[in-house]
Amino acid sequence: MAEPPASAARPTSLPVLHVVDDDTVTRTLVCKVGERLGFRAEGFASPAAFLEASAREQPDLVVVDLAIGDSDGIAVLQGLARRRCSVPLIVSSGLDHRVLGSAVRIGRSLGLTMLDPLRKPAGPAELMAALRDAASKALPIRDRDLDEALGAGQLVPYYQPKLRIADRVPVGAEALVRWEHPTRGTLGPGEFLPLAESGASITPLTFMMVERAARDCATWRRLGHDVGVAVNVSARCVGEPDFAERIADLVAQAGIDPGALTLEVTETAAMADTANVTTALARLRIRGFSLSMDDFGTGYSSLAELYRMPFSELKIERGFVSGMPHDRDATLITRAVVGLAKTLGLRTVAEGVETEASLELLAEMGCDVAQGFLIGHPMPLPGFIGWLDQAAGGHVAPQVGLEEAA
Partner 1 sequence: MLAVPQGAPTSPAPGPALAELLDAIGAEATAQAIRLFRDSATAGVPRALHAVAQRSLADAGREAHALKSAAALLGATELAQTLGALEHAAFGGNRAAAQAAAARLPTLLDDALAQFDAALTRPD
Instruction: Pick one of 1, 6, 8, 125: the residue that binds partner 1 (CB under 8 A).
Output: 125
Count the residues of the shown chain that bind partner 1, applying the rule CB under 8 A.
20
Binding positions for partner 1, 24-63, rule CB under 8 A: 24-26, 28-29, 32-33, 35-36
Q: What is the dihedral of CA 380, 384, 385, 390, to 10 degrees?
A: 150
CA pair distance 372, 321, nearest whole angstrom: 10
Torsion of CA 124, 126, 128, 131, to 10 degrees: -140
From the list 5, 121, 393, 394, which residue makes contact with partner 1 (rule: CB under 8 A)? 121
Task: Examine residue 99 and tell whether it contacts partner 1 (CB under 8 A).
Answer: no
Closest CB to partner 1 among residues 26, 371: 26
Q: Give the residue among 56, 57, 60, 48 at the shortest CA–CA distance from 20.
A: 48
123 binds partner 1 (CB under 8 A): yes
Rule CB under 8 A: is residue 128 a binding residue for partner 1? yes
From the centroid of its chain, how far is CA 20?
34
Nearer Cβ to partner 1 (135/238)? 135
Q: Which is nearer to partner 1, 37 or 324 (CB)?
A: 37
Q: How many CA atoms lie within 13 A of 325 on its CB side?
A: 11
Burial class (CB in 10 A: 0-12, 13-18, 19+), 12: exposed
Of residues 341-360, which lie at the interface with partner 1 (CB under 8 A)?
A: none
Q: Report the residue number, 66 or 233, with the smaller CB distance to partner 1.
A: 66
213 touches partner 1 (CB under 8 A): no
Instruction: Report the residue from 18, 40, 120, 377 that binds partner 1 according to the rule CB under 8 A.
Output: 120
Check residue 247 for interaction with partner 1 (CB under 8 A).
Answer: no
Q: Of 348, 270, 264, give the one whose Cα is nearest residue 314.
A: 348
| 122/141 with CB nearer partner 1 | 122
Q: Please report how close the Cβ of residue 54 comes to partner 1 at its closest, in angstroms.
A: 23
Alpha helix stretches (DSSP H) within 57-162: 73-82, 97-109, 124-138, 143-151
State the Cα–Cα distance between residues 287 and 222, nearest whole angstrom: 23
Q: Pairing mode, if any, of strands 369-371 and 155-164? A: antiparallel
By CB under 8 A, tell whether 122 contacts partner 1.
Answer: yes
Quick check: 127 binds partner 1 (CB under 8 A)? Answer: yes
Q: How far is the CB of 35 from partner 1 (least distance, A)?
A: 8
Segment contacting partner 1 (CB under 8 A): 9-17, 18-26, 165-173, 326-334? 18-26
Task: Compute φ and ψ for 85, nearest 5 degrees.
Answer: -90, 125
Tell me if residue 390 falls in helix, strand or coil: helix
Tell me how far apart the alpha carbons of residues 376 and 398 are, in angstroms, rounded to a whole number: 8
Nearer to partner 1, 39 or 158 (CB): 39
Under rule CB under 8 A, residue 222 binds partner 1? no
Chain contacts with partner 1 (rule: CB under 8 A): 23-26, 28-29, 32-33, 35-36, 67, 94, 120-125, 127-128
